[in-house]
A and B are shown apart, each in its own frame.
Chain A
Amino acid sequence: EVQLVESGGGLIQPGGSLRLSCAASGFIVSSTYMTWVRHAPGEGLEWVSVLYRGGNSQYTESVKGRFTISRDNSKTTLYLQMNSLRAEDTAVYYCGRGYGSGSFDIWGQGTMVTVSS
């Protein structure tokens, strides 16, 4: 079965760091582009980052320089390293699998990140 499972969320103080993981089964994460999207309380979905097959990556403006997307050499796990966390980063973070040229067909259940003192 093709699925994604996120982990690594939790309560963290402002300025702290967390690394989110997205474990893939049924496919290899390097076979397509992969994304992170977040859902803040009371807000809509927000695209955060993408990692392409060739290794290129991109980020939404508000996380540039603070977040880093990567994958492991076994090609089964996607990561999101989040540094210098702010209260506004509080959200459920979802990973998604790229489909075709411009959409995402498989998503995980999400992992909650709460940035608060």
Chain B
Amino acid sequence: QSALTQPASVSGSPGQSITISCTGTSSDVGGYNYVSWYQHHPGKAPKLMIYDVTKWPSGVPDRFSGSKSGNTASLTISGLQAEDEADYYCCSYAGSYSWVFGGGTKLTVL
């Protein structure tokens, strides 16, 4: 299956809000409410930020929120902080016991 489509990079100033999109197809993002988002610093363990499209794991601040419309999911980070600078990946269940990740988005906090 093809990788989900994410913008290569986004940026924002501290305190601002940014949104990262994640576009798939009806066979993955559009077909299941199993979209998750991961924060990743290369060489370190990925961190689950959002699961099941809109839910927060314990310990993740509610500045992070998720949504979905059709075949596109989105991650919004409000009140941007310097520590949010990282790579962000969306991931969707794609049926037949398989998953697919997005290409990743590098978030720069200006």
Contact = CB atoms under 8 A, between A and B. Distances in A.
Nearest to B33: A102
A102 B98 contact: no
Interface residues of B, number: 32
A44 B44 contact: no
Nearest to B58: A105
At the interface, is chain A mostly helix, strand, loop or mixed? Answer: strand
A108 B89 CA distance: 17
Contacts of A102: 32-36, 51-52, 92-93, 99
Given A45-B89, A92-B43, A58 B97 contact: yes
Given A45-B104, A103-B34, A107-B45, A58 B98 contact: yes
B69 interface: no
Given A102-B34, A103-B34, A109-B45, A50 B98 contact: yes
B73 interface: no
Contact of B89 (A44, A96, A109): A44
Interface of A: 35, 37, 39, 44-47, 50, 52, 56-58, 60-61, 92, 94, 96, 99-105, 107-110
8 contacts: A37-B46, A45-B46, A50-B99, A92-B42, A94-B45, A94-B46, A96-B46, A109-B44
